Structure 1
């Protein structure tokens, strides 16, 4: 992004953006110090339709007037111009930037090679949409020195999450907001994780698409948000309409297997938060909840499993995280399970219903694909047969008449062809 020459008396673009952050930065932690550790944040995450993107009056302001966005925990942040250089950490925020046509503006993301290997599998099916994140700063945990060096226009990241990183405290978070660029992001809504002490009275939980709506306002791209939200709403209506009766639904489990050990981690399919945004609408029985107890993962975390516990759960369908990233091999996982004395008795292994999943930290693009994928894996009679995932290959090709959402429309919107 072009910078104003040094010594210029008129306010620079950097000063405009930084001023917006300073307005809220000095009050970022106000009123939090007295907060009890037992208090919980406000807000809920109902499974309802995505919000409209016209709720803030500032959205209609002209660029010369400036505008503001508001997203807990940072609160209201003002901008004079649309940010151009963008710092991100986790995949859901990076996904939103890609969806808004701003993927090339990202200057940092956690594990960039991992995220690129994952997103290439899905973006393969969106003509004219790609990412190139190789060599970007791997931003978790971030260092304050690197944030000064990057000199971003906005940090699309959750300041409450950053405050928990090694080497950071609340004063560091406020300093970066005041002197580099503001924070605009929300991460703990992924599993409704309890915010750290000092942030609980200002934290709110949102759906993925509520966060996306505000990020779209940040980049003055609510038209793209609304177009993508319409695609998502059509997909969700299709799923809800065609689900079979509860008595005919399979049981399922979502797991991540260790690379070599006979160990796995299980994740709730129906837990609040956007991590389960693609599985919660499927209405399946979480087999792990039956075996481990309904309270597992209520802190938003996983449960460690051995093969004996997994067999006790014995899901009809086993959804496996990791293979689509290129860091795990689905064929190797299937062979390992089939060759194991205990794991081979799993119903999902015996019937061949062990399927690849993408990732839990999903943004709007990944949610669309994962919702379609999971619907086909669980309910082939209703939504069409899942063609299977081949290790190292893109998300499989699905005939146009069997797709659950319009790829061409999504690609057009991301490219700005509305």
Structure 2
């Protein structure tokens, strides 16, 4: 235990979760921080920010229901942005989230089951075409599954999936830029892509002489997708503003795309790295859900997001000034030994009721709206992979993704037996 007196956050030049060096082994740094001083102050980034590392402190911040101490109104990035959409506090955020529950319901996995399964089967067909027996699981499956699904739900051509992926990566990469308007160029590119698709829907409404559209026009005059939904949905007594529409689209892409890709690569890498674990999944499909949740706990796709202190606060004896950016390190909370037995071990025997307390999807009023869809994609992917490619295995070294606050795999070389051989051996 350090002799740090906990009267203030430790200023640690080596503790910068936004740096490339930190990403080499963040979990070792998290463990050291939890033990020595659970609140860290990073002055090497602009703006300076603080970090929370213990599960109990992060859980309390996430569940500050009325944002009396921990506000989301300045955004979840290290920069300060004005409140909009889901990043509002308390009642305003709840009202905005409620708008999209009909589009992305809690049972999204059931509602979109056919789309999920058909997309997964198409990808496996493409991977195994022409008797191929090896490929890159990351680029040929994990990247394409969520982006094809979210592209269809949003209402853009599936052939644009890779362009959308590229724009999303640019947007997420700007998250780490130490400048106030670092995301502006990426945001403008997203707007320029989506605006023609929105305008085509407005033309459909004008062509039908509809001045005040509503939800009855979805699937009749307009395609039944997110772009159309945002043109007809009322927020209180008004329609959504252009800024709100841009914000929702950026959130849908980052939350329903890159993070799901990372979840898929992380769980697959964990299972294939220890072949006996993959064998257990192949033998018993009931272990798929625990595997997904344990992967989310050990390897959360987002290592942390930010809140802003609404007042002077004290955390674990350490004072943090008002209006400070504070990074809630989910990756550290999920390996806190005060919360988890054997926190650095990947185990399939943890009780599900307890396991799902992990913070990979955040928590409280801002719990990830797309979590049900992401979980469904992960569960169905493993189910169909274990039945169609039961002899899946690693085939070389894997590389991490470059974004520093995210945790996933950029490459994941794999090999499998020819499908007809797999079906005979399964």
TM-score, normalising length from structure 1? 0.25
Structure of greater relative contact order (alpha carbons < 8 Å, 6+ residues apart): 2
By percentage of residues, which structure has more helix?
2
